[in-house]
Chain A
Amino acid sequence: MDCKHHPVPEWVDALRVRFPLDREMDAVLARKLRLRPGPAYEPVSQARLVEGLRALIEHAEGKPVTIEQPHWLAGGASKIQLAFRLGGSDGRRCVLRMEPAASVVETSRRQEFELLSAIEGVVPAPQALWLDADARFLPYPALVYSFVEGVTKPPDVAANVSNLGIDFGTRHRPALAPQFIECLARIHTWDWRAAALPSFERPESPDAAIVWQLNKWERVWHEDCCEEIPLIRYAARWLRDHRPVPDRISMIHGDYRGGNFLFDPETDRITGLLDWELAHLGDRHEELALISLATLGHYAEDGHTYLVGGMLPEVEFFTAYERASGLPINRAVFDYYRIFNAYRVAVNLIASAFRVASAGKTHQDVLLGWIMGLGYAVLADLQQLLEET
């Protein structure tokens, strides 16, 4: 196996200098490389997690607790999730969200916890409860949030790997689409500057946020890729040379799509937005372009109307978004972020999925090996988009 499985400090330091990031993400990626030569993932027993949870919560609450009815949750391709109920009179249902030995997306539990805390009341989301950012109580960094009732897909729709491109059908789509867009607009117009987000570094220049993103994904490519892909290198340079200055810096969810929200299948009310780990400060067009990725939508029942995010035709979707947010969509900026998203998804699915799965670092390497297949379809999109510029 290539030498990136055993990175030397000089190489790591050189990448940090070449691709500077906000402090939290810099620390996350540096930690990733520091731990990389370590052991592969070993299954963690429910008993070990229950013991860690008990210690974490007792330390935070200052009183004895019991953990009841633990059971694994499926879904997602990156984190280990265990649902449980607090014993005694409390009785709350909760979810532990813990990293494996390495993850296909390395993110900060601290940022995820802060954001869930800060965005409470803005959009429906799980309530952040406890944080073990440095794995003091649990085997790996983790957070605990409240259990949210709901389903990610209609009960009669077959499961798909990572719930990509869910078809909500004519029964649920009309009610879900306006909520999906309304929640997105609320996130993008949220006054994050007034929120308590100490680990989110404020961009100091107009384009600092996009420069951080470009640095992050180029650094991840160099850290994780096995074989070089010239098109990826071309894209990295093109994106730097053509980056737009944002008219506004918004909070970006980072993985806003069907499969990452829960809804009540009876009332069609969205009950919780999930998977905030990729959230960051940036340009709203980045999120809109991500939602528009072909793999996250599908064609309507007529066979030829493409539904963005599996929700609405593009024109209707963006009109509704502009109305809900009061923010305009700039087509040129949107097109730039289509290329950016194809690039970063390809980096993630080809380089990081390979690196993590080939080192046996997660609880679902077989899933990562499978979704790498999507990375090459996205690479074809990237090639086509770049060639059209």
Chain B
Amino acid sequence: MDLRAEMQIDTLIRAMEHVILPAIDPADAAAQEQGALVLATLRLIADRLPMTYRYDRDELARYVTLAAALLEALDVEDAARRALAVAHAEGADTLARAGAEPAELLERSRVLRAHVGDLAERVAGAGAECDTLRRLIFTAAREQTIRERKWLEPTGFDAAAADLPSLEAQLPAPHNNRTTPGGRP
């Protein structure tokens, strides 16, 4: 879906710069100040949002490293050390599974979309021999549009979106690969 936060925030910044801030009453000091702060905050978010995942991963890496060093240096085996060891092992496991950058995920989807798109165009021009492919393409399209409609429900354009499954149900959190291998829940 192309309607992403990065693009939306940029449009908010331009609306603030070009339309809203110039229209605020110069005599209203509080409105002027808060208008400027809204713009500055949006710029801060726009600048940092693309690095948020990298930041979170760096944060986890630093604590995994620190915990490993602390465990190495600790010379007593007590409850605190055991708790730290468990947290360290879980953190190291999560870190090992958090390798791909968000941009890499998007790029892999983009490539797959392009190849599936080429195939969909061919299937549209084919006969009944491609009915299985056609069914797969339509099923995927149906499931994806249900997700997009729910995602965009707050825009108010799609009254029926209220009856669709929640995003929590449609976007399950990734399961730990060790306990639930393969398949979507």
Contact = CB atoms under 8 A, between A and B. Distances in A.
B2 A377 contact: no
Interface in A350-388: 350-351, 354, 357-358, 360, 363-366, 368-374, 376-377, 379-380, 383-384, 386-387
A229 B113 contact: yes
Given A234-B137, A354-B3, A365 B148 contact: no
Given A227-B110, A369-B3, A376-B148, A295 B12 contact: no
Contacts of A371: 155, 157
B141 A231 contact: yes
B120 A374 contact: no
B149 A363 contact: no
A182 to B, nearest CB: 30
B145 A373 contact: no
Nearest to A358: B7
Given A372-B2, A377-B149, A237 B121 contact: yes
Given A227-B110, A236-B121, A237-B125, A383 B145 contact: yes
Contact of B3 (A360, A373, A383): A373
Given A230-B120, A234-B137, A373-B152, A383 B113 contact: no
A33 to B, nearest CB: 19
Contacts of B14: 360, 365-366
Interface residues on A, range: 35 or more
B15 interface: yes
A377 B137 CA distance: 18
B7 A354 contact: yes
Contact of B11 (A43, A228, A365, A384): A365
A210 interface: no
B76 interface: no
A177 interface: no
Given A370-B155, A377-B152, A379-B148, A241 B113 contact: no
B158 A383 contact: no
Given A227-B2, A373-B3, A376-B145, A235 B12 contact: no
B120 A231 contact: yes
Contacts of B113: 227-230
Contact of B158 (A43, A360, A377): A377
B157 A374 contact: yes
Contact of B2 (A236, A238, A354): A354
Given A241-B124, A379-B145, A383-B138, A228 B117 contact: yes
Q: Which of A225, A230, A366 gathers most chain B CB within 10 Å?
A: A230
A356 B138 CA distance: 29
A233 interface: yes
Interface string A73-84: 000000000000
A368 B114 CA distance: 25
A230 B142 contact: no
Contacts of B122: 237
Nearest to B126: A237
B30 interface: no
A379 B161 CA distance: 13
Interface string B67-90: 000000000000000000000000
Cβ-closest 8 pairs across A and B: A373-B155, A237-B124, A230-B120, A380-B145, A366-B15, A373-B152, A376-B148, A377-B158
Interface of A: 43, 164, 225-238, 241, 295, 350-351, 354, 357-358, 360, 363-366, 368-374, 376-377, 379-380, 383-384, 386-387
20 contacts: A227-B1, A229-B113, A229-B117, A230-B137, A230-B141, A236-B121, A237-B122, A237-B124, A358-B10, A364-B19, A365-B11, A368-B11, A376-B145, A376-B148, A376-B149, A376-B151, A377-B158, A380-B142, A386-B138, A387-B138
Interface of B: 1-3, 7-8, 10-12, 14-15, 18-19, 109-110, 113-114, 116-125, 137-138, 140-142, 145-146, 148-149, 151-152, 155, 157-158, 161
